[in-house]
Amino acid sequence: MQEFNIQPINLNLTDQIQKKIDLKTKPSGSLGILETIGKQICLIQNTLEPTLQKPSLIICAGDHGITNEGVSPYPQEVTFQMVLNFLSGGAAINVFARQHDIRLKIIDCGVNYDFNDHNSPINCKIDYGTKNFLNEPAMSAEQCNIAISNGAKLVTESHHNGSNIISFGEMGIGNTTSAAAILCKLTGISPIEACGAGTGLDEKGIFHKAQIIEKAITKHQRATTPFEILYTFGGFEIATIVGGMLKAAELGMIIIIDGFIATAALLVANALNNNITDYCIAAHQSNEKAHLFMLQHLNLKPILNLGMRLGEGTGAAVAYPIIQSAVQFINEMSSFEGAGVSKSSSNEVKV
């Protein structure tokens, strides 16, 4: 597969960044996670004056053959119907992207539908959905490589257009099953621990989904490397996101991580190159059952916990203004000296 040269972030400015944060007109540490985010962005950009430029969000859509096993209460055609909704501007992610001036790209990675009119997604279609991974690998190694390469090209284009902060959304009926299988293979967690409600399964449906994953894992025991796991259990949209994340980190971009599916993609990307998490900010803790476990495995702390589990990149979009606030306080908040405010030896404001 394509190689990505992801460098660890440069820590040379660590002390200077921390000093700048500590000398702001506030008690030490009083801005909490904003201070952590601000410092991380400064380190990513190797600067004391960070910037966020042209935030972008790439929504990748694809269908899944595993839906033949009844793992979702929604029919497969909802995938293309929701893509049409994205294109018409009526989905939740459209609302939040407009609110925060985030540039959206809608990608057909493998939807089981032909988009023929002028208002179509970007065409990266590899096939009309993946195979049923209960019976055979979801895709071929070649198809997986194409998807990874597509993701890298899409991110490169956004970067060339001036974006330095990016996130990824997804749409694909059945993709929580793929994501849960990937989670099980990469971390050793059991299928029943990995499976949640997805698009609305009840307890019986969740148990059935876990059983399907258990059978598939038993069948595909030889899939052990991250790449093999991705093409055996993944979706075209998940593989595209993996390539996009890896390229974004290689380009030194800030990556906002959305929910369960996007984090499954990050699990694969991290297994391929563990420098990637230096560039990642977890937007929120999804209400999907095993998402917190995923984040803890990656040593990422989510900004928000709003009970969301919609996907589409919605959590990333909602978290974006908080990330903006982290950058703004670094750049615009006065220092004690500049504002003429006295401070104690512990940086507590004297009143």
Three-state DSSP class for residue 107:
strand
Q: Single out the catalytic residue among 3, 35, 312, 348.
A: 312
* Residue 156 burial class via C-beta count within 10 angstroms: exposed 0-12, middle 13-18, buried 19 and up: middle
One-letter identity of residue 276? I
Please list the residues that pair with 284 across neighbouring strands.
304
Three-state DSSP class for residue 123:
strand
3 given a catalytic annotation: no
Residue with tokens 């004690």: 336
Tokens (6 digits) for 46: 């190797």
Please, what's the b/e burial string for 185-200 (b: 16 or more CB within 10 A of its CB; e: otherwise)?
A: bbbebebbbbbbbbbe
Name the phi and psi angles at 59, rounded to 5: -100, 120
Please list the residues that pair with 168 across neighbouring strands.
58
Cα 74 to the chain's mean position, in Å? Answer: 23
Q: What is the DSSP string of 131-151?
A: --TTTS-SS-HHHHHHHHHHH
**How far apart (Å, rounded) are the C-alpha atoms in residues 82 and 311?**
12
DSSP 69: G
DSSP 328: H
**How far apart (Å, rounded) are the C-alpha atoms in residues 13 and 157?**
29
**Helix, strand, coil shares, percent, the chain, to 5:** 50, 10, 40
DSSP 313: T
Task: Report the 10 Å Cβ neighbour count for 30.
Answer: 12
One-letter identity of residue 125? K
Three-state DSSP class for residue 61:
strand
Active site residues: 312
